[in-house]
Every structure is written in C-alpha cells, then in structure tokens.
Structure 1
C-alpha cells in the first residue's frame, strides 16, 4: 500500500491498520490520535446543534397550542430528548463502558447492538435527516439575511415601501460560504466554530427574549389564551393541522441525537468514561436550551398572541430598534454557518469512508496534497473531498431555492427525525445492550414511550406535509419574492 493510501486509511479506518497503543501519550486505545474533548466542548457542540433556527419558530408553535399545552409539550420533548440521549450515550462502547469497542458513528452503534436490516434503515433516516437539516439551515440563513436588508429598508421608508426581495442571492451567498467551511477535514477540528456558533445562538435568543419582554411591557398585558389560536382566526381544520405542525417544530428544536455519537467520539477518556461525560454535557445543554426555549417561546407568544410570526426575529412583529434586529439576524447567520457544519460532517465522513473502502487504489479519492500555511503548518487538500462536498452544498442550495418554506420544512424535518433517531433506535439498542427481558416492567415502559413518540411523529409529519401542500399552491419556483 502506498504512503498516501496508508495515510488515508489512518484517517478513516485506523483501528484496522494501526496497532493499539494504550500506553502511548499520543494515541488512544484504538490507535487514533488522543481525543481532547471535554464536557464543555461537547456541550458547545450540542448547544450549537440544538439552539438553532428551531428556537425562532417556538413562539408560533406555542401560539398554536396555547398556554397549557405549549410549555407542557416543550418540557415533555426536553425530558424525552435527555432520557433517550443518556440511553444512546451508553451505546458508544460495546461491552465495558471504559475499555469496550468504540462505535464511531450512530450507524456503528446500531450495527454493534442490533445489526441486520435495521442498520441500513437507520442510515437512510440519519443521512436523509442530515441532508434535510442542511436545506432547512440554508433557508433560515437566507431569511435572516433578507430580514437585515428589509429592516433597514423599512427604517428608511418609514414602513411605506413593502421592500420585496428575492431570497435566491442570499441562499447562494450562504452556499458559497459553506463550500469554503466544508473543507474543514473532520468533526474534531470544528470545536472553535462550535464555540463561536454557541455564543451567537445565545446572542440572538437573548435579543428575541428581550424584545418579547419589551413588547409585553408596551402592550400592558400578556396576550394569548389557554387553548391557543382561536377559531375564527383560523378554521377548525387549520387549527388541527397547525397544532400537529407545532409538534414537529418543537421536535426539530430538540433534534441532535443523530450526531450524538459523533460528538461523543471527540471526548477524551478516561477518567471518567465518555458516557459519563456525555451524560453530564447532555444535562447541561438540554437544561440550558429548555430554559431558553421556554422563555423565547412563551415571551414571543405573550407579546403577539394569535399573531405570533413563524420566525420570531424575521416575521416583523418587531420593527424597532432596527439595529438590534440586525445584530440578532447577523448572529443567526453566523450560528447557522457553524451549525450546518456540525450536522453535515458525519454525512461527509460517511461518504468519504465508503468511497475509500470501495476504491482504495484511486489517487483522486485517497491522495492528499500538502499545502503550506503560515506558521510552518500544512493543509491536506483532498480532491475528492473538495469536489463531492462542493456538489453537496450546491445541491442543498438549489433545493432550498425551490422550497423556501421555513416553518413547514422545519416541522417536517423534526417529525421525520424525532421518533426513529431520537427514540426508537436508542431504546432498542439499550434494551439489546443491557439484555432487558421481554415483557419486564422496564421493557414495557420503554416500548410505551417509543409508541407514544411514534404517534406524535405521525401527527407532526401529517401537519407539516399539509402546510407544504398549501404553500405550493401559491408558489412559483425561483420567482417568489418576500
């Protein structure tokens, strides 16, 4: 095997080619370079993934469900997400939690614990969901960039100019940016981007919360009702579909299980075990995000009631101070640049690993070109990585330009990913790993949880599909202005 090919195999399949060096200061027990992740870097990755554009639709989702069901559903999703994430984190190693065989990806964990056809089905759900998230984030970033332009336009014209514009140039600009950042070779090198993105997510969430509180104070009352949007504002049928779609929006706001194993694979060990560190990071992250979600969703609903916009910071419930809205929307765009990478890196790694295994003698796939950087460092440029990741970003950008429906796409993505990836597989893997007896009390409780979440997923998917169909009736591809 040539030197370049060996280097490539060391990136993707080290455990097969490199002898284990448990005593080495530079390598972990699987022969890979020492992992350096901590509870704080893992928390940053999770917060980057969780507090995404989904937070902006929570005021709308709360408006559909009302003051009782809205917060209750958010709390329910947070609890389910935390609980199933702890089950999933226990599946990172097969066997002993400290010395057992590592599972580097979600699919590896499914293969080790369940095997068979369920591995392929899991891969289909996971990578389709990651692909969909890339589309959703492209749409959200373009909407935020347009919001900056429109808020300045409204300010100059005194709201007399409707300030219509096309989203296409903004989606293209986001796509070009992602082509550049997509050349970051792997997940472990994203920690700095995740930290920046996590700071940005807190920035725009805090601004949204502050504006909501200010609007409630200006109104002199808390808007909204116990049961949500009233019949008359919408029809009975629309209320049902919107309530289902709201479930999908909230599910999307909590979806990060699809990359949990990949995040866990960046954590150093021992002590403590990766599972213990990940459980702590999950508790910190889900607690912080739930607090923000409750505040942003509830204060947005309190400010606007039935008229809560689908995107809190771009729906123009708020007009002033326009400069603060600009800061918030700029923070959203910066956050989404990082979040796009956090979600897409597992998909990038999967495709590149499959290509390397199928065509091990292809220099186009395996060869790295060393490019010198300032400070006596080098960047390894891989032509296959450059071409395929560029094509991927172009494809997600084109689909985003065809279907720029923020709320409906968010709801559909949340629905498709929630039950299979956040609940079903973690539950089934945990049962298999811990050998929980069938029909035992714990087995029954876990199956009831899984079935209840399946019902929620079906309802959310139906509501979101109904919303997309409604949008398509009045939409012209590449021509619709905002």
Structure 2
C-alpha cells in the first residue's frame, strides 16, 4: 500500500515510466486497490445535471400555479439553497473519519455506517433504495407520456384537430423497458459517464425549448399571467387548495433530488485533488445550472399559462403549432430519461450484486464473468446473474408504471419521501458526528433547526401527494390509458 501511495502521488509521466518496470499495475490502481477512478468535475457535473434536471422540471409551472408569484420562486430558491448546503456536508462524508484522507465509503449506506451506525443504516437503505425503485418507475411513466405526445402530435397534424387520436401509454412503456434491459448491462457507474453527458445535453435542450415556447406564449395578448397567490380558493375550494400547495412542495422537492446518488457519483472521481473538493465544485456547477433553468421554466411557464398551467409543461402547448419543435423537445426528454434511469438504478444494481457476492463467494453463477469478443468493439464481460436479475428488475418497474400512470402525484410522493431523510437528515447528522459538534451549541441548534423545518415541509408534501393519488384512484382503471 505504501508503494501504491508513493506511485500515485507522482506525475503521470512517472507512472508511464514504471509501466514496463517493477510496478506495471500500480498506476492503474487507487489507494483502495480498485481500478483507478477517472471522473472529473465535468463528468460529476454531468451526472448531477442528469439526475437533477429530470422530469421534475416539467411540473414546475404547475407548482408555481399552486404557490403563486410570491411563494413559488421563494420555495424553489429555498430548496436549491438547502440542497446545495447539505450536499457540501454529504461530500465530506465520502471518506471517514477524515474527509480527505480517511477510508472510502463507496455508497450512501457505507457513509451512514461509518458515521452513525446502528438502526440508521437499515433506515437509510430502505429509504434510499425504495426511492431509487420509485424514481425508475416515475421515469418510465414520464418517458411514455412524451412518446405518446409525439404520436398524438403527428396524428393531429396529419388528420386534423378533430381526429380521434387516442394512444395507449403501455406499448411505449414496454419500449422504454426494452431499451433499459439493454443498457442495464453496463457493468457499473464508472462506465456510465458517456450516457450521462448525452442525457445532460438533452435535458438542457428540452428545457431551452420549453423556455422559448413559454416566452412566445407569454407575449400573446389577452391571457392571464397568474396571480400573487396562485390558484384561488374560489376556483378549487379551501381544502383542495391546501392539498395542491402541499403536492407542489413535493414536486419541487423531487426536482432537486440527487443526494441519494451523490456518494455513488463521488466514488467515480479521481484524486488528487481530494474527491470532496472536486465534488463540491461539481455540486455548485450542477445546482446553479439547474436552479437557473428551474426558475426560468417555472416562472415563464406560469406566465404563459397562468393558473391553468398543466402538470406537464410541454403538453400545455397543444399538438399543433409548432408541432415539430414540441416533438423535438419530447424526443430530448425520452433520451434524457433513458440515461437518468441508469443513473438512479446503477447504485441499486451494485448494492444487490455486491451483497450476494459477499454471501455466496463460491457461486459461479453470481461471480463468474464470461468474456465475449465483439467485432470492432473488443471484449465484453457477461455475467449471467447480472443479465437475469437486472432484466427482471426492469420488467418489474415497467409493470408497476403501467399500473400507476399518475405523473404529478408520483413525483410528489417520491420527492417528499426522499428529500428529508436523504437530502437533509442524514447529511446533517453525519456532519455533526464527524465534526463532533456538541449538543445545544449555536451550530448544533442551527443545523437541527434546518432538519426540523424540512421535516415539516416533507410531511406536508407527502400528505398532499398521497391525497392526490387517492383522488386519482377514484377514476382509475388498470392498464387503461388516459390519452
């Protein structure tokens, strides 16, 4: 290990000079003996943008309509600030006990185990991995909505506005699932950088299109630009207004959810410099980029549609003109979600496979890699267990998505259940434990106050989103599309 540390501290040229000498493999290994990580601030930022600018951006205009011109921007900025602050704390938990020289924590659960221990490890695992599953289901639903929108748009353009262009979501969910079965065979997170870059470009592209369409529609004369307090009590009633505000909080929380994969992203970053420094730069770049887009898309979307803003921003522009531009935006959404699905699913794949390897170290079915030669590509390592279990997982998420095609309510539940524990509670508690902050000091009280306020917001968002699902179930028929 001492030799490894000495070699890694030298310039790249020194490593190349050793490649034919006494230490041919040292330059290809990190301080933990694993293959050397190659991630940079740019690849980490791409992962973050792919994870953050997801389908949540499409619901922000609707959220603004529930909150109004005063509370809406304040809520979005507040979530951005809290997410950025706690992400900085979480980045310091990648190594323990020292944030720069300690032992690596490869997953979120490893960080909780090293800093908190006890029952909180199991709680973290249940919350994190159930939300990873839920996010995969939500992305399957959203991708099908966009594919259906393309089909309907082309149908209306070809046959006229009065044509019957009913389209089922189910075949498109199945198509999305088939694509994910293929991509799920990407071995691990470190091999996912190229897909994240493509997805990040796509997310920025459809956000810009939505932004441009919002500007054009907002400049049309004669329509409402929204109100200071959003949808009025007279339109929906007092109780419904409260539920919608709570659900909007959940949608905004979901839009900023990436902490559940932050440690896994950080584990792809090379060092030196220390991983936490690079991750903090990537977090600043990622959160600032997404917040600018969120504020623009949410505010301009609300200005365009007023209190009638749709749950999915792009569906509000209709299917007619400019239908081709909306089609492009929906294609970008689908491509982005193809990559985002993998960003949120790879940590779950790794958890299951690593756990079984530890339990069954002698099993050839679980551990053996079969080398397959692919012309013009090279070799690919096929693992039978990986092939079968990941395929079953994708089939499962696809079936659940077909059963529960509720867009906004699903987003709200995912955001509410993940935001407080994974974005706020665990990062703050791990930071307190790592820095040995004493109880009832000013710093301790300030940190715990943030935790308490965010808990109350998350509870409100969860209650509102559950009420929305209950309301949807009153008219719901399994496997029947609303389009």
Alignment correspondent of 1:474:
475
Shift of 1:374: 2.7
Shift of 1:314: 2.6
Any conservation in 1 of the 2:156–2:319 contact (CA below 8 Å)?
Answer: no
- Structure-2 residue corresponding to 1:204: 206
Instruction: Name the residue aligned to 2:313.
Output: 312
The corresponding residue for 1:118 is: 120
CA contact (8 A) 2:246 2:461 kept: yes
CA distance, structure 1, for counterparts of residue 216 and residue 193 of structure 2: 35
Pairs within 5 Å for 1:46-445: 46-219=48-221, 223-271=225-273, 273-317=274-318, 319-375=320-376, 377-445=378-446
Instruction: Return 5+ residue gaps in structure 2 as ranges.
Output: 8-25
Query: In 2, distance between residues paired with 1:162 and 1:219?
Result: 31
User: Take 2:101 and 2:408, find their aligned partners in 1: how far apart are those partners?
Assistant: 44
Instruction: Tell me the CA shift for residue 246 of structure 1.
Output: 0.1
SS at match of 1:372: strand
Report the Cα offset of residue 360 of structure 1.
1.2
C-alpha deviation, 1:33, in angstroms: 1.1
What does the per-residue CA deviation read over 1:351-406, in whole Å, with 9 as the maximum and x for residues that have no partner? 00111111111111011110012347210000000000000000000000000000
2:136 and 2:397 in contact (8 A); partners too: yes
SS of the equivalent of 1:380 reads strand
1:432-451 superposed Cα distances (whole Å, 9 cap, x missing partner): 00000111000000000000
Task: Call closer, same or farther: CA 1:112–1:92 in 2, change over 3 Å.
Answer: same
Counterpart-to-counterpart distance in 1, 2:161 and 2:465: 32
Name the SS for the 2:230 alignment partner: coil
Q: Which moved more, 1:81-90 or 1:23-32?
A: 23-32
Whole-Å separation in 1 of the counterparts to 2:106 and 2:372? 28
| CA deviation vs aligned residue, 1:214-241 (integer Å, no higher than 9, x gap) | 0011236661000001223212111110
Q: 1:19 to 1:474 in 2, by over 3 A?
A: farther
How far, CA to CA, are the matches of 1:135 and 1:404 in structure 2? 9
Compute the TM-score of the two structures, normalised by the length of structure 2. 0.94
Aligned Cα root-mean-square deviation (Å): 1.3
1: CA distance, partners of 2:136 / 2:293: 23
Partners of 1:291 and 1:317 in 2: CA distance: 25
- 1:457 deviates by 0.5
Q: Match of 2:475, SS? A: coil
CA contact (8 A) 2:56 2:252 kept: yes
